[in-house]
Amino acid sequence: RVTQTYDAGACIYFYFAFNYRGISNPVSLYEHIESCAREEILANGGSISHHHGVGKIRKRWLRKTVGDIGLGAMQSVKQYIDPNNIFGNNNLMMGHDLDDGATPVQEPSNVMLPSKL
């Protein structure tokens, strides 16, 4: 669905569903499909975050989303205003690897729960 339009483009939301029956690990399959889609979006100049930010689960794409300069600016501001990492403790930048190929860190807020399917 298209929810917002701008002079520079539009925000398009995609919904994806698939039949998980017979798939041994549907969560891994979904994560692989999502990863490929996000890589393709970024490779073609798109944004994966709109105005909400990348977030913890997708932080491996932070550098590709904001670039080295943007990431450096974010890290500098974070270090300046919160040198003890009290606010948003270890959410995105401090204490975690942000390499593009990094596996998302299992934070308490994004731990995979056993499926009840």
Residue numbers annotated as active site:
13
| Element at 2 (helix H, strand E) | strand 2-6
Sequence-separated (6 or more) residues with CB below 8 Å from residue 11: 2, 3, 4, 5, 50
